[in-house]
Chain A
Amino acid sequence: MIEVENLTKRYGPTLAVSDVTFQAQKGEVLGFLGPNGAGKTTTMRVITGYLPPSEGRVRVAGYDVVEEPLEAKRRTGYLPEAPPVYPDMTVTEYLAFVGRIKGISRRELKPRLAEISERCAVTDVLNRQIGKLSKGYRQRVGLAQALIHNPEVLVLDEPTAGLDPKQIIETRQLIKGLAGRHTVILSTHILPEAAKTCQRVVVINAGKIVAVGTPDELTRRLQGFETILLTVEGAAADVKDKLQRVEGVNLVEPRDTSDGRVTYEVHAEKGKDVRAELARAVVESHWKLYELKTSGLSLEDIFLKLTTKDLSEEN
């Protein structure tokens, strides 16, 4: 649905995006992560046809954004970081205008407007001037304009920036609800959110892609070992010893103690799933096993690792 091939974008002498290649499959929600200045907004601006690429090609819904811009734009909905609203217009006037320039026919305009205002929860403020709305409402109007023409592809640049926690949850729900029907690419700094809303992420740093994959895949790639957390009740030294002896275990570290139960962090060889053996070891010795789970890297860790480490040798 979105195909970015060897995209390079220069602003004069500055290289903003360098040889970036990735795809977003139909119906998926793709996260676009990266520090400030990494090139996320620039990439999104090329995908939406606002900026032409310096090199490379971008295709949206099969249409090249440079060769057939009108077709590509008809199928794209875009919410930039600051919602592109006209403060002097009312919400209705604005959405009607956007609907018209996005190609909605006069007949369909009214019902579409009603439907989208309902969906984005802006029906209460339809007759108010946008300049007088709160940030939350303005963001929702921005989302409404991105969706009003029912585009196949949605490009959202920091869609929850500046919203309060309740609004963030509502927006997240809305975005999750879009998956399947629409292909979404969203950029964000809020990593737990990317983990919750996106199926795959692309990590970009200093204009280059540093990783692509699901959060799990990335964890596996970045960590040299598997991590398992166990909460056991039993003599600490004995437990540690027994666990250490399980095949494939490299390290056992007690992490936490509460109520006589100790949580151990176990590092095992990469690729080895030692959970069953650990469980057996605990139960055999008649200790009480309270919790057993794998612990991946948080997306935060992934992000930091990818954007501060030089990955050229690892790749």
Chain B
Amino acid sequence: MRNMLAVAGKELRAYFHSPIAYLVMTVYALICGYVFYSSTAFFMARTFQMEAMGGMGAPPMSLNENIIRPILAGVMTVVLLFLIPLITMRLYAEEKRSGTIELLLTSPLTDMEIILGKFLGALALFAVLEVITFVYFAVLFIYGNPNAKPLLAGALGFLLYGAALLALGMWFSTFTKNQIIAGAVGLAAFLLLFLLDWVTAYSSGPVGRVMAFLALTTHFDNFSKGVINLGDLVYYLSVVAFGIFMTARSVEALKGRP
């Protein structure tokens, strides 16, 4: 436990010693901010329009449906597909390149302590991103009254989604000494997964359903609506477990199993 936290602390410190954390946070905050601004502006425009026309008998527009959900499920989940490889690419690649992997593997730590420690460090950085996202949403509470419960489900789902991507990204980072390649592999893999989701919009047959199942983003939909579906929960946790398991196998291979 101690060792795991020591490694997690080291990773977090390393992120903030390099420009990467700041780059990712800045880009993320900018995108989030812009999307938030345009959705809110649009929302306001439409609301005033509707009121000017006497309401048309329709209920007031929901903040959740028109701002929070599209941003979270529609935009930010996709943005993460691009940003997470930037976070995970250094996890193992840098250790391999600088030789520090020898230090870790010859110290009295289990492989799993190292893996979980690194995962936690990356997850901590991701948590910062999530907080940035939800700070924007919190602003809505000052000026309006969105429904808080879907937000909580959304926060959980977002965390799980991020965790799944991080676990996979960490696995990719064990492939090479070169961070750039690790990042590129992550990017390509996530892009493919995103494509799967995009394609499901067009195919409804059994193939479409399988692809929808595999696509990481589709399982977030329920969370964004405020629904915590056990199936989705298990899905994300399984992906995290898969990523961690594959990382462990990769590390073993690194040592040249007899």
Contacts and interface: CB of A to CB of B under 8 A. Distances in A.
Contacts of B104: 101
B10 A97 contact: yes
A84 B6 contact: no
Given A10-B258, A85-B100, A100-B2, A49 B106 contact: yes
A174 interface: no
Interface in B81-103: 98-103
A59 interface: no
A70 B106 contact: no
A51 B13 contact: no
A84 B103 contact: yes
Contact of A84 (B2, B10, B13, B100): B100
A75 B17 CA distance: 32
A73 B13 contact: no
Interface stretch (B57-65, B107-115, B239-247): B107-115
Contacts of A296: none
B75 interface: no
B18 interface: yes
Instruction: Determine the main DSSP class of B at the interface with A.
Output: helix
Contacts of A88: 14, 17-18
A11 B103 contact: no
Contacts of B10: 86, 89, 97
B106 A101 contact: no
Contacts, number: 76
B256 A51 contact: yes
A98 B103 contact: yes
A52 B255 CA distance: 7
Contact of B7 (A48, A84, A101): A101
B257 A52 contact: yes
B250 to A, nearest CB: 16
Size class of A's contact patch? 35 or more
Contacts of B204: none
Nearest to B16: A88
B108 A50 contact: no
Interface in A64-87: 69-71, 73-74, 76, 78, 80, 82, 84-87
A247 interface: no
B210 interface: no
B105 interface: yes
B258 A54 contact: yes
A187 B131 CA distance: 51
A145 interface: yes
A103 B6 contact: no
A102 interface: yes
B3 interface: yes
B2 A80 contact: no
A185 to B, nearest CB: 14
A9 B101 CA distance: 20
A144 to B, nearest CB: 12
A48 B102 CA distance: 9
Interface string B125-156: 00000000000000000000000000000000
A174 to B, nearest CB: 20
Contacts of A101: 3, 6-7, 104, 107-109
Contacts of A145: 103
Contacts of A48: 106
Contacts of B99: 80, 82, 84
Nearest to B104: A101
A76 B6 contact: no
Interface string A27-55: 00000000000000000010011111111
10 contacts: A52-B256, A70-B108, A71-B108, A73-B108, A78-B102, A86-B14, A89-B17, A101-B7, A101-B109, A102-B107
Interface of A: 9-11, 45, 48-55, 69-71, 73-74, 76, 78, 80, 82, 84-89, 93, 97-98, 100-103, 145
Task: Give the top 3 A-B pairs by smallest Cβ distance, nearest first.
Answer: A84-B103, A88-B17, A48-B106
